[in-house]
A and B are shown apart, each in its own frame.
Chain A
Amino acid sequence: EVQLVESGGGLVQPGGSLRLSCAASGFTFSSYAMSWVRQAPGKGLEWVSAISGSGGSTYYADSVKGRFTISRDNSKNTLYLQMNSLRAEDTAVYYCAKDREVATITEIDYWGQGTLVTVSS
Chain B
Amino acid sequence: DIQLTQSPSFLSASVGDRVTITCRASQGISSYLAWYQQKPGKAPKLLIYAASTLQSGVPSRFSGSGSGTEFTLTISSLQPEDFATYYCQQLNSYPFTFGPGTKVDIK
**Contact mask for chain A residues 17-50; partner B; CB cutoff 8 A; 1 contact, 0 none:** 0000000000000000001010000001111001
Q: Interface on chain B toward A: helix, strand, loop, or mixed SS?
A: loop
Pick out which of these stretches binds chain B: A69-77, A79-87, A110-118. A110-118
* CB of A5 closer than 8 Å to a CB of B: no
A44/B100 in contact, CB under 8 A: yes
Name the distance in Å between A98's Cβ and chain B's nearest Cβ.
Answer: 10
CA distance A105 to B94 in the complex (A): 11
Q: Please, how many angstroms separate the alpha-carbon atoms of A111 and B45 in the complex?
A: 8
- Report the minimum CB–CB distance from A39 to chain B (whole Å): 9
Report how far A46 CA is from B94 CA in the complex, Å.
13
- 11 cross-chain CB contacts under 8 A: A44-B85, A59-B94, A100-B49, A106-B91, A107-B34, A107-B89, A108-B44, A109-B55, A111-B43, A112-B43, A113-B43
Q: Which residues of A contact B (CB under 8 A)?
A: 35, 37, 44-47, 50, 59-62, 95, 100, 105-109, 111-114
* Given A62-B95, A112-B43, 6 new contacts (CB under 8 A): A44-B100, A45-B101, A47-B96, A105-B91, A108-B34, A108-B44
